[in-house]
């Protein structure tokens, strides 16, 4: 799990630290910087794999901008020409690993300028006690990596007059591998920001070949890849869509010629409507209502064994009835535990808040806002300890809408 | 016309919904479940579920709603136009508990059902301080809702049931054993209390079936005839 | 104004009549048929101009499907192979004109089958009294149309042995012109269903050349076309976006080479952020936050003298903070009177309800749901007369969310 | 720390917000306007605006909020963690009206301000039934909020103002006449009451300016020192 994320100097975020849980929901005004938080993590992810080209960033859902506006540029502050990202990862054996990433670029005025990463392990702690990295080096040096390194650096040997110098050099090299190893251990390297488009879900206008893509590309292929267990799990949730009788994948795209699609959609996903006459009850993704496509995408994303364990969703409420959205979130929370995901989600829907149980520390709610200097701030909304049951008196959605929580414009 | 339901359980809501659909030709959209709260937020739900069970015997929650008036005010007195009613459903099984405070008459008394019903109705009116009298219907089940559903599965008078739940379960088990199609469908409708009861009382949606059924249960009949 | 719309046999709508106001908001569950209502009106619009090809329908925002599923197809109902649309138009001189449109198609199994319209005036009433169409025919016959008709039909003259027969024939011809004339009088012929995509608003992925297109294409060009008065009106609403200093249209696309866009966006729209250093405060539409793009689009749509007087918006809340959305709707209501629009809007956002004043008969709220047969029903939500002011006790958004209104799934 | 404001007008909210930003280094996000209701729905707003003016003299609404407790309960007792306070703002100008019921002392009395303030504070505590005492701050303006803003524009003691509104308007007019930049900016900040007052009291956001100002107004000083 990523336990803590510190972001400095990225877009509207001047210096902010966020303590994450498993299921993290962000609310706030338009322009408060919610998406920037998701993107900052995307930068860390991309950097760890050296996938910092504009195309690669865009495929993760990051809006690529000129470095001059990617670095924070607040009034009365000198612009720092580096993005600093600090990640605290809790490993499965309960180590706390603190990783730093610093991103710089050659020409800050050039949108095509290449990004450069400087990363490293700041510390590793075991139950609060700092531990030495040496065993880690050793464990790595004992593996194939070591053979590889030895061979790779053999020609350089002569440059290192003493074994100590060579060792120091190798440790430096390993040091750059380590952060990536930990980042991979939580699948942060595979992180993407999903922001669905109905058209794309329908199989029109998709741009990504990923299964699935960030705007909802290839939902049909994702479901096709399901094994029996996944399929059964998905079908358990069919009750979300009252009229849904059956989901079909038309592997050979046979129905296309039946005139089910205007030939614009590449999707081979079909639904059957139980209220309609059997001969006329098959709908292509192109013709289905948008709600079913959004719901199905999120469920499939959380169920599939092929999707990353770590991802973000921007505007999860799009096109969904508020009550449905609440129940969906409630189920996604459960799935996130079941299939071991860590997720960051932004929303403008009050109902999403009602889908959370804030007594569970794994489910966290944050409000994002600008302080008086314009800096993005992220504040966790927590409950008082031992709050008595109060008979529905305080629904989170209503507290938010009635302006008791913040995160809404007060003076429009 | 829109009808709100304040009931002891989600299953009770489903049964009343089916009765209303059959009786008044209503759509599901015309029926609002006000208690139990289907739309509770999850933070509250967690708190609720951690409450000691004794604090929320279901009739006490119906009583609480009646006394607090909030739901009645929000549904009946809100600014939206339209004809609206609320059905209050309560079982008599626990009527002698503290706070409910009703003495049962002798079951042999031919007016047992009607007397008990009147007593409970009076109690509800007391809780409500006699407000909204024209907009309330009383679904008082003697002694449990299962006695009403039972009428759909057996030709027998269930007006003064003995252990209504058990009797109905026994009858249902018999049906499931002999009717394979029913058993298969029953298996498919287990996800929630609501769905289960909705399935089992589906026949009430047909007016004819409903009219037949109410001849077998006095308290169901009284409820239906109140419309 | 379109006062009444009756839809029969279109998708999930079996037979439904809707009494419209100026600003009409539709709420309801996913799949209840909200979008079908908007589409039915789109069919009437397209039919009036004989623009019923699949491409033309798609450009208006109608999801084109096979006729077999475009006609209603409910269990236990025989499928009727025609869509019936009845429009009651109130003209500016207070006539009530009742128009019927019937759409049929040759081959109901073929998605490419051509649609055919049979339309006609059912009645014209003046203050409830039916009036004869004769003066209308005469007024048309006295215009150029008559010359045109005479000339056009001259060769056919011989087929009409008596003047009466020719007259009858001509009246028939005029009859087909009349509905179109009335439909044009309320600009229903220009009707479209807008359903914005953030990517398209950014100037990426747009498919329409219309200014603006239904997914938000060419917002930049729309704003560029503004005259001084429109521009000033737009700028009055700048307060919606706290950080917005200025909107710029880069007519010659000069900033492109400054590295403001990744060359993917064709938009020439820029914003300046007042919290950032002047040298680094220009954002292209490609990089701006999505909220500003959505808000700007709606404002421009309601302000422009070039956009239709009659249109629909699907999911107006997308990407907007609830409170912002409420205030936006409040202002769009005002603009709709000021610039004389009639609009149909769907939403899943409770806050939108709070932006309406239901005491004003021009602002109407409808809930859309399926009845027990699966038919889409549309029910207006009206207030009791003479409701006393009740000190915020009943906020419409909360009544909706607390399940006192309907239009949400009750049993998920 | 989060602070809710219950005030007579939206302008008053703006001034208090600026004072809090200067005094406690708060962000706007830490300050919640609870009265007047900035987020009222439009249907209610229409009803509200059609009410006869007499029914909602602004102090009566502050009083109503205090008596009803809802806002206090929702903001201070809600389940969300955090240190929270509410500021109640009220002018003394109308303190002799029926329902407010405070007798003014002689203005020549050196303790006039403090006595009047104590009387109003006592009245508010009475409305609140002494609840939430540790979480309330009293912004009692003698006699009107304008006397507080006035301190930013003139070196003069405004503690016991005569016609505070008029005096401030006169002083402001003088400034606008001589200071063109101010006049231009003032012109740009007219859209709402809130924006107007926010602009005029902007200097309170600087602690130094605030500290200077409070030496010129006793009731402002007492309010600020209560933190």
Whether the Cβ atoms of residue B171 and residue B154 lie closer than 8 Å to each other: yes
Whether the Cβ atoms of residue A378 and residue A18 lie closer than 8 Å to each other: yes
Which band of pLDDT confidence, cut at 50, 70 and 90, is reported for residue B49? low
pLDDT of residue B218: 94
Task: Inspect the interface and report whether the beta carbons of A410 and D74 lie closer than 8 Å.
Answer: no
- Chain A residues 359-378 with CB within 8 Å of chain B: 359-360
Q: Is C322 helix (H, G, I), strand (E, B) or coil?
A: helix
Query: What are the pLDDT digits (tens) for C163-205?
Result: 667 667 777 776 777 888 889 999 999 999 999 999 999 998 8
CA distance A226 to A94: 32
Q: Which of B44, B65, B69 to mutate to test the interface with A (most CBs of A within 10 A)?
A: B44
CA distance C48 to C190: 10
| Residue in C239, C354, C390 nearest the CB of D42 | C354
Q: Which of C240, C336, C386, C391 to mutate to test the interface with D (most CBs of D within 10 A)?
A: C391
Residues of B in contact with A387 (CB under 8 A): 47
Phi then psi for residue C55, to 5 deg, are -60, -45
Which of these, C319, C353, C311, C351, lies nearest to C335 by C-alpha position? C311
- Lowest mean pLDDT of B177-186, C192-201, C346-355, D54-63, name the range: D54-63
Which band of pLDDT confidence, cut at 50, 70 and 90, is reported for residue B173? very high
Query: What are the pLDDT digits (tens) for C97-142?
Result: 999 999 999 888 887 788 888 888 888 888 888 887 766 666 655 6
Residues of A in contact with D38 (CB under 8 A): 403, 410-411
Whether the Cβ atoms of residue B141 and residue B160 lie closer than 8 Å to each other: no
Burial class (CB in 10 A: 0-12, 13-18, 19+), A110: middle
Contact D46/C at CB under 8 A: yes
Residues of C in contact with A241 (CB under 8 A): 30-31
CA distance B178 to A264: 52
Residues in contact with B26: Cβ distance below 8 Å, sequence separation at least 6, in sequence order: B1, B3, B20
Reported ipTM: 0.91
- Lowest mean pLDDT of A77-81, B4-8, B143-147, name the range: A77-81
| Residue in A109, A205, A374 nearest the CB of C275 | A374
Which tokens sit at B84? 């609206």
- Lowest mean pLDDT of A265-274, C66-75, C146-155, D216-225, name the range: C146-155
Q: Cis before residue D40, ω within 30 degrees of 0?
A: no
CA distance C336 to C315: 18
Residues of B in contact with A323 (CB under 8 A): 39
Burial class (CB in 10 A: 0-12, 13-18, 19+), D29: buried
- Torsion D167-D173-D179-D184 (CA) sign: positive
Question: What DSSP assignment string belongs to C367-402?
Answer: EEEE-TTS-EEEEEE-BPTTPPP-TTS--HHHHHHT
Task: Inspect the interface and report whether the beta carbons of D29 and A371 lie closer than 8 Å.
Answer: yes
Rounded to the nearest angstrom, the minimum Cα separation between D43 and chain A is 16
Contact C326/D at CB under 8 A: yes
Task: Inspect the interface and report whether the beta carbons of A388 and B37 lie closer than 8 Å.
Answer: no
Q: Residue D217 gets which letter from DSSP?
A: -
List all chains that touch chain C, counting a touch as 3 or more CB pairs closer than 8 Å. Answer: A, B, D
SS3 of chain D: the string is CEEEEECCCHHHHHHHHHHHHHHHCCCHHHEEEEECCCCCCHHHHHHHHCCCHHHHCHHHHHHHHHHHCHHHHHHHCCCECCCEEEEEEEECCCCCCCCCCCCCCCCCCCCHHHHHHHHHHHHHHHHCCCCCHHHEEEEEECCCCHHHHHCCCCCCCCCCCCCHHHHHHHHHHHHHHHCHHHHHHHHHCCCCHHHHHHHHCHHHHCHHHHHHHHCCCHHHHHHHHCC
Rounded to the nearest angstrom, the minimum Cα separation between C410 and chain B is 7
Query: What are the pLDDT digits (tens) for B96-121?
Result: 999 999 988 888 888 899 999 999 99
| Bigger pLDDT: C264 vs C326 | C326
CA distance A43 to D38: 39
pTM attached to this predicted model: 0.93
pLDDT of residue C147: 61
Phi then psi for residue B77, to 5 deg, are -105, 5
Tell me the CA end-to-end span of chain B in Å, nearest whole number: 12
What is the average per-residue pLDDT within B114-135?
95
Residue with tokens 């739309």: B39
Which of these, C218, C213, C190, lies nearest to C203 by C-alpha position? C218
Contact D85/A at CB under 8 A: no
Q: Which of B6, B43, B56 to mutate to test the interface with A (most CBs of A within 10 A)?
A: B43
Residues of D in contact with C326 (CB under 8 A): 39, 41
CA distance A349 to D193: 30
Whether the Cβ atoms of residue C240 and residue C325 lie closer than 8 Å to each other: no
Query: What are the pLDDT digits (tens) for C361-372?
Result: 999 999 999 999
Residues of A in contact with D81 (CB under 8 A): 382-385
Phi then psi for residue A107, to 5 deg, are -115, 105
Beta-strand pair C95-105/C83-90? antiparallel
Residues of D in contact with A387 (CB under 8 A): 79
Residues in contact with D206: Cβ distance below 8 Å, sequence separation at least 6, in sequence order: D22
pLDDT of residue C391: 47
% of chain C with per-residue pLDDT over 70:
89
Residues in contact with A69: Cβ distance below 8 Å, sequence separation at least 6, in sequence order: A11, C276, C280, C281, C282, C283, C287
List all chains that touch chain D, counting a touch as 3 or more CB pairs closer than 8 Å. Answer: A, C
Task: Inspect the interface and report whether the beta carbons of C390 and B79 lie closer than 8 Å.
Answer: yes
Which tokens sit at D129? 């039934």
**Residue C353 pLDDT greater than 90, yes or no:** yes
Q: How far from C79 is each of A273, A276, C76, C118, CA to CA, in Å?
A: 16, 10, 9, 19
**Residue B179 pLDDT greater than 70, yes or no:** yes
pLDDT of residue C87: 96
Residues of B in contact with C397 (CB under 8 A): none
Contact A384/D at CB under 8 A: yes
| Bigger pLDDT: C329 vs C384 | C329
Residues of D in contact with A411 (CB under 8 A): 33, 38, 192, 194-195
**Residue C233 pLDDT greater than 70, yes or no:** yes
Calculate helix-pair angle for B193-200, B180-188, nearest 10 degrees. 150
CA distance C133 to C125: 10
Residues in contact with A137: Cβ distance below 8 Å, sequence separation at least 6, in sequence order: A171, A174
Residue C186, Ramachandran bin (φ over 0: left; ψ between -120 and 50: alpha; else beta): alpha
H/E run at residue C129: strand C129-130
In a 13 Å sphere around the CA of D195, the CA atoms on its Cβ side amount to 12
| Residue in D29, D78, D194 nearest the CB of A394 | D78
| Residue in C330, C356, C389 nearest the CB of D51 | C389
pLDDT of residue C144: 61
**Residue C392 pLDDT greater than 50, yes or no:** no
Residue C340, Ramachandran bin (φ over 0: left; ψ between -120 and 50: alpha; else beta): left
> Hey, which residues does C130 pair with through a beta bridge?
C125
Which band of pLDDT confidence, cut at 50, 70 and 90, is reported for residue C292? very high
**Residue C234 pLDDT greater than 90, yes or no:** yes
Task: Inspect the interface and report whether the beta carbons of A289 and C111 lie closer than 8 Å.
Answer: no
CA distance C187 to C2: 10
| Bigger pLDDT: A24 vs C52 | A24
Q: How far from C41 is each of C51, C64, C193, C410, CA to CA, in Å?
A: 13, 14, 10, 30
Whether the Cβ atoms of residue A321 and residue C348 lie closer than 8 Å to each other: yes
Residues of A in contact with B50 (CB under 8 A): 389
Burial class (CB in 10 A: 0-12, 13-18, 19+), A175: middle
Task: Inspect the interface and report whether the beta carbons of D46 and C357 lie closer than 8 Å.
Answer: yes
What does the buried/exposed string (b/e) look like for A55-69 if buried means 16 or more CB atoms within 10 Å of the residue's CB?
Answer: eebbbbbbbbbbbbb
CA distance C24 to C4: 12
Contact B41/C at CB under 8 A: no
* Closest-approach residue (CA) in chain B for C389: B79
> Hey, which residues does D5 pair with through a beta bridge?
D33, D87
Q: Cis before residue C389, ω within 30 degrees of 0?
A: no
Contact C64/B at CB under 8 A: no
Query: What are the pLDDT digits (tens) for D15-47?
Result: 999 999 999 999 999 999 999 887 777 777 776
List all chains that touch chain B, counting a touch as 3 or more CB pairs closer than 8 Å. Answer: A, C
CA distance A84 to A70: 12
Q: Where are the alpha helices (DSSP H) in B50-163?
A: 58-68, 70-76, 112-127, 146-150
Task: Inspect the interface and report whether the beta carbons of D79 and A387 lie closer than 8 Å.
Answer: yes
> Hey, which residues does D89 pair with through a beta bridge?
D139
Contact B47/A at CB under 8 A: yes
List all chains that touch chain A, counting a touch as 3 or more CB pairs closer than 8 Å. Answer: B, C, D
Contact C78/B at CB under 8 A: no
Burial class (CB in 10 A: 0-12, 13-18, 19+), C325: buried
Task: Inspect the interface and report whether the beta carbons of D33 and A377 lie closer than 8 Å.
Answer: no
Rounded to the nearest angstrom, the minimum Cα separation between C290 and chain D is 22
Task: Inspect the interface and report whether the beta carbons of B78 and C399 lie closer than 8 Å.
Answer: yes
| Residue in D2, D27, D79 nearest the CB of A383 | D79
CA distance D172 to B55: 63
* Closest-approach residue (CA) in chain C for D43: C357
Contact A357/D at CB under 8 A: no
Farthest CA pair distance, chain B: 52
* Closest-approach residue (CA) in chain C for D189: C239
pLDDT of residue B43: 72
Task: Inspect the interface and report whether the beta carbons of A262 and C58 lie closer than 8 Å.
Answer: yes
Contact D39/C at CB under 8 A: yes
Rounded to the nearest angstrom, the minimum Cα separation between C393 and chain D is 9
pLDDT digit string (tens) for chain A, length 412 residues: 999 999 999 999 999 999 999 999 999 999 999 999 999 999 999 998 889 888 899 999 998 888 888 888 888 888 889 999 999 999 988 889 999 999 999 888 887 788 888 888 888 888 888 887 766 666 656 666 556 656 666 666 666 666 667 667 777 776 777 888 889 999 999 999 999 999 999 998 888 899 999 999 999 999 999 999 999 999 999 888 888 889 999 988 888 777 777 667 889 999 998 888 888 888 899 888 899 999 999 999 999 999 999 999 999 999 999 999 999 999 999 999 999 999 999 999 999 999 999 999 999 999 999 999 999 999 999 998 866 555 446 789 999 998 999 999 988 7
């Amino acid at each position: 799990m990523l336990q803590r994320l510190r972001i400095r100097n990225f877009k509207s975020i001047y210096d902010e630290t966020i303590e994450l849980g498993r299921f993290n929901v962000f609310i706030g005004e338009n322009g408060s910087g919610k998406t920037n938080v998701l993107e900052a993590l995307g930068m860390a992810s991309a950097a760890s794999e050296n996938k910092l080209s504009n195309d690669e960033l865009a495929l993760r859902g990051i809006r690529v901008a000129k470095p001059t506006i990617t670095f924070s540029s607040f009034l009365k502050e000198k612009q720092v020409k580096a993005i600093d990202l600090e990640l605290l990862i809790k490993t499965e054996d309960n180590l706390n690993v603190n990783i730093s990433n610093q991103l710089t670029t050659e020409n800050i005025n050039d949108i095509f300028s290449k990004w450069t990463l400087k990363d490293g392990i700041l510390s590793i702690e075991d139950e609060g006690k700092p531990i030495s990295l040496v065993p880690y080096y050793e464990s790595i040096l004992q593996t194939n990596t070591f053979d590889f390194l030895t061979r790779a650096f053999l020609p350089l040997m002569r440059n290192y007059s003493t074994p100590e110098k060579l060792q120091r050099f190798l440790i430096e090299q390993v040091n750059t591998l380590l952060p990536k190893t930990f980042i991979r251990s939580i699948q942060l390297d595979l992180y993407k920001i999903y922001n669905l488009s109905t058209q794309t879900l329908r199989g029109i206008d998709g741009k990504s070949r990923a299964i699935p893509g960030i705007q909802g590309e290839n939902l049909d292929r994702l479901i096709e890849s399901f094994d029996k267990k996944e399929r059964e799990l998905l079908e358990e949730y069919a009750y979300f869509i009252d009229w849904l009788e059956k989901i079909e994948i038309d592997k050979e795209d046979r129905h296309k010629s039946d005139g089910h699609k205007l030939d614009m959609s590449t999707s081979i996903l079909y639904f059957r409507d139980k209220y309609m006459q059997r001969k006329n009850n098959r709908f292509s993704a192109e013709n289905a209502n948008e709600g079913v496509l959004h719901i199905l995408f999120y469920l499939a994303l959380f169920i599939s064994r092929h999707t990353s364990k770590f991802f973000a969703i921007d505007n999860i409420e799009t096109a969904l009835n508020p009550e449905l959205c609440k129940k969906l979130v409630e189920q996604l929370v459960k799935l996130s535990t079941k299939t071991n995901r860590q997720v960051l989600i932004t929303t403008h829907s009050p109902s999403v808040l009602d889908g959370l149980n804030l007594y569970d520390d794994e489910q966290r709610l944050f409000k994002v806002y600008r302080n008086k200097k314009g800096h993005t701030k992220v504040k966790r909304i927590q409950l008082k300890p031992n709050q008595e049951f109060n008979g529905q008196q305080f629904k989170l959605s209503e507290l938010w809408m009635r302006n008791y929580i913040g995160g809404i414009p007060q003076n429009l | 016309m829109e009808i709100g339901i304040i009931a002891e359980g989600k299953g009770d809501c489903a049964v009343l919904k089916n009765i209303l659909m059959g009786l008044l030709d209503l759509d599901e959209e015309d029926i609002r479940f006000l208690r139990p709260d289907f739309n509770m937020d999850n933070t509250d739900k967690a708190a609720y579920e951690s409450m000691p069970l004794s604090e929320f015997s279901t009739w006490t929650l119906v009583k609480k709603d009646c006394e607090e008036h909030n739901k009645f005010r929000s549904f009946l007195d809100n600014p939206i136009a339209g004809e609206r009613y609320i059905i209050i459903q309560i079982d008599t099984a626990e009527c002698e508990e503290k706070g409910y405070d009703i003495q049962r008459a002798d079951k042999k008394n031919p007016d047992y059902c009607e007397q008990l019903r009147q007593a409970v109705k009076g109690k509800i009116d007391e809780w409500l301080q006699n407000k909204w009298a024209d907009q309330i219907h009383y679904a008082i089940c003697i002694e449990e809702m299962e006695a009403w559903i039972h009428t759909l599965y057996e030709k027998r008078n269930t007006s003064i049931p003995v252990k209504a739940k058990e009797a109905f379960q026994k009858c249902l088990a018999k049906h499931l054993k002999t009717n394979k199609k029913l058993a298969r469908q029953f298996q498919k409708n287990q996800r929630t209390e609501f769905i289960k009861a909705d399935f089992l009382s589906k026949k009430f949606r047909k007016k004819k079936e409903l009219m037949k059924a109410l001849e077998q249960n006095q308290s169901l009949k009284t409820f239906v005839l109140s419309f």
